Amino acid sequence: LVDIRDLFHHQEDYVGKKITVGGWVRSNRNSKNFGFIVVNDGTFFEPLQVVYADGLENFQELTKINVGAAIVVTGVLEATPEAKQPFEIQAEEIIIEGASAPDYPLQKKRHSFEYLRTISHLRPRTNTFEAVFRVRSLIAYAIHKFFQERDFVYVHTPLITGSDCEGAGEMFQVTTMDLNNIPHKEDGSIDYTQDFFGKPTNLTVSGQLNGETFALAFKNIYTFGPTFRAENSNTTRHAAEFWMIEPEIAFADLEDDMVLAESMLKYIISYVMEHAPEEMQFFNSFVDKGLIERLNNVLHSDFARVTYTEAIELLEKNNDKFDYKVSWGCDLQTEHERFLTEQVFKRPVFVTDYPKEIKAFYMKLNEDGKTVAAVDCLVPGIGEIIGGSQREDDYDKLLERIHELGLKEEDYSFYLDLRKYGSARHAGFGLGFERCVMYLTGMANIRDVIPFPRTVNTCEL
Ligand code: 4AD
Ligand code: MG
C-alpha cells in the first residue's frame, strides 16, 4: 500500500503508475455509469479522489458504500492539472474491507469541536484532528531530539509516589483499600498498614523531585511523561491528566534555565514548521489566522524578560481592565498573563523572581529574602506554558523552608541528602506538553489537543 502523503510529496514517482491505497471513505457520489469516492488514509489530511466506473464487477455494491467504510483501491494514478486536486485514481479494483453503517456520525459537513469531543474515538478521522494529533506526535519527537542531541539523559520518573512536589494538595490518591470499609486505627486515623504500599500514595503531579536526584548524578536530564492534577479548574487550559517535560540541569542557574527553555521552544517551532508545513498551513487557514506569522516572529526575536515586581507595576496601571485586581504578592491569573504577553510585550515573556509565598518550597531564596529564583514563561493565546526555577541548594535554608511550610522532614530526607552530599547549583523547568501543542496549532481548548481528555467531570474511553 502507498501512503497518500507520499503521493502528494512525490507525485512524479507515482503519476501514470498502478498503485494500491487503503483508507476510509469521506464521501461517495455517483451517476448511472460512474462514481467518485473521496478516501483518506490518515497519512495526509488532503484526501484522494477515486474514480470508478460500471466496468467494475462490484459497481452496484460500490455505489452503496457509506461514509466511513474501509476500502482498498488499486488503479492508475492520473494527473488532473485542471482540477483542485493534482491527481486521482482510476480504479481497477475496489475491495470493501469493512463496510460502514449509515448512521456513521461523521457525515460530510462541518462538525463543532464540542460535538466531536463526544466521539473521541472517531474524531481523529477528521481533518482538524488528524492534523492536531500528527503535530502532537511530531512535537513529542522534536522534544526528545532536542534533548538527546544535547546529551541529556531521559529519566523515567514514577507515576505513583508518596510526595506532593508542588505542595498544592491537588492529588489523586492511589489506594487498594475498600472505600466502603476503610480500616481505622484505635485513635480513629486511617490504618495505611493495610493499604498496598503501607502508606498514603498518590499519582504524581510532577517528576521534578525524582528528576533532581538524577541531575545530581548525570548533570543534564529530562523527564517526559504523564502527570496528574486534581485541580478543580474547569478551564480551556487545565486537564487532570497531562504530559510534562521536565529538564533539570546541574551547575546551572536561573539564567541557564531560561536560555535552555527559549532554545527548546524555538527548536520545537522550527522542527514542526519544517516537518508539517501543510498541517501548519491548515491551522493557519482554518483555526488561527495569525499563527504562522506569530510563530515566525518568535523564531526571529528574543523572548522578553520582566521580574514579577516590574510585571505587577505594569499590571497595576491597568487594573481597571481586569476582573481580578493585582497587587504585589498576588498570584498572576490567566488574564494578567495574557495581558503581559499579548498587549505589553507581544511575544513570549519570562517573568522571574516571584514572592516566595506563592511558589513551591524547593525554589531558591533570593538575596532580598522575599522572592525566589522562579521563572514562568508566558505565551500569547495561552498564558503560562512553562514553570521553572533554580532550586534551593543550601541544606539549612531548605530545611527551614520545609519546617516553615509544615512539611514533614522525613518525607524529604532523600531530597535533603542531595544538599548534604555534593550539593550543586541546579535548575529546571516543566513544559506543559498540551499547552505547547495548543501554542503550535492555535487550538483554543486543551480538550482538543489530547486524544482522550480527562477534565473535571469528563473521563470517557
Ligand atoms: O508550573 P508547574 O506546576 O511546575 C511544576 O510542576 C514544576 N515541578 C516544574 C519544574 O520546575 N520541573 O507546571 C509546569 C507546567 C505549567 O507551566 C503548565 O504548562 C503545565 O505544566 N500545567 C498544566 N497543563 C495542563 N493542565 C494542568 N492542570 C496543568 N498544570 C500545569
Ligand atoms: Mg506554574
DSSP code at position 461: -
- Between the CA of 171 and the centroid of ligand 2 the distance, in Å, is 15
Q: Does residue 268 contact residue 139 with C-beta atoms inside 8 Å?
A: yes
pLDDT band, residue 461 (cuts 50/70/90): confident
Q: Are 392 and 367 in contact (CB under 8 A)?
A: no
Nearest-CA residue for atom 1 of ligand 1: 387
Contact residues for 367 (Cβ-Cβ < 8 A; gap 6+) = none
163 within ligand 1 shell (Cβ under 6 A)? no
| Cell triple for 303 | 523572548
Backbone angles phi, psi at 223, to 5 degrees: -115, 160
Query: Does ipTM surpass 0.95 in this model?
Result: yes
Per-residue pLDDT at 167: 82
Beta-sheet pairing, 426-432 with 454-455:
unpaired
Question: What percent of the chain clears pLDDT 90, i.e. is strictly above it?
Answer: 93
**103 CA → ligand 1 middle, Å:** 41
Whether the CB of 394 sits within 6 Å of ligand 1: no
pLDDT at 45: 81
Structure confidence at residue 217 as a pLDDT band (50, 70, 90): very high
**For the whole model, what pTM was predicted?**
0.96
Compute the distance from residue 89 Cα to the ligand 2 centre, in Å: 52
Please report which ligand is nearest the Cα atom of 331. Answer: 2
List the alpha helices (DSSP H) in 323-381: 334-338
Separation of alpha carbons 62 and 58, rounded Å: 6
Is 33's pLDDT higher than 90? yes
Please state the atom number of ligand 1 nearest to the C-alpha of residue 247: 12
How many angstroms is it from 432 CA to the middle of ligand 1?
5
How confident is the model over 266-286, as a mean pLDDT?
97
Residue type, 109: K
| Non-local CB neighbours of 122 within 8 Å, separated by 6+ positions | 105, 106, 116
Indicate if ligand 1 lies below 6 Å from the C-beta of 25: no
d(CA 401, CA 365): 10
Distance 179 CA to ligand 2 centre (A): 32
Q: What angle do CA 414, 415, 418 make, to 5 degrees?
A: 90
pLDDT band for position 448 (50/70/90)? very high
Cα of 234 to ligand 2 centre, how many Å? 17
Using only the alpha carbons of the chain, give its radius of gyration: 27
How confident is the model over 234-262, as a mean pLDDT?
97
pLDDT at 371 exceeding the cut of 80: yes
pLDDT at residue 298 tops 80: yes
* The three grid cell numbers given for residue 227, joined into one nine-digit string: 502527570
Q: Is the CB of 212 under 6 A from ligand 1?
A: no
Q: What's the mean pLDDT in 218-224?
A: 98
Which among 308, 322, 166 is positioned nearest to 231, based on CA atoms?
Answer: 166
Q: pLDDT class for 432, splitting at 50, 70, 90?
A: very high
pLDDT attached to residue 107: 85
Check whether 337 has a pLDDT greater than 80: yes
Question: pLDDT by residue (tens digit) across 126-174?
Answer: 999 999 999 999 999 999 999 999 999 999 999 999 988 888 889 999 9
Judge contact between 264 and 271, C-beta under 8 A: no
CA distance 443 to 287: 7
pLDDT surpasses 80 at 273: yes
User: What is the band of 328 on the pLDDT scale with cuts at 50, 70, 90?
Assistant: very high
Are 348 and 298 within 8 A, CB to CB? yes
Average pLDDT (193-209) is: 96
Q: What is the mean pLDDT of residues 107-133?
A: 94
Nearest CA to ligand 1 atom 15: 432
pLDDT at 460: 87
**pLDDT given at position 138:** 98
Model pLDDT for residues 48-57, shown as the tens digit of each residue? 999 999 999 9
The secondary structure of residue 330, as a DSSP letter, is P
- 384: Cβ below 6 Å to ligand 1? yes
pLDDT of residue 312: 98
428 Cβ closer than 6 Å to some ligand 1 atom:
yes
Average pLDDT, the chain: 96
At residue 169, the pLDDT reads: 81
* Contact of 251 with 426, CB cutoff 8 Å: yes
Spacing, Cα 243 to ligand 1 middle (Å): 9
Q: For residue 366, count CB atoms less than 10 angstroms from its CB and return exposed for 0-12, middle for 13-18, buried for 19 or more.
A: middle
- Identify the CA nearest to 386 among candidates 206, 214, 240, 231: 206
| Any ligand 1 atom below 6 A from CB of 165 | yes
52 C-alpha to ligand 1 centroid (Å): 52
Query: Atom 30, ligand 1: which residue's CA is nearest?
Result: 238
* Atom number in ligand 1 closest to CA 231: 28
Ligand 1 mutation pick, 224, 244, 337, max ligand atoms within 8 A of CB:
244
Residue 117 binned pLDDT confidence (cut-offs 50, 70, 90)? very high
H/E segment holding residue 302:
none
What is the grid cell recorded at 1? Answer: 500500500
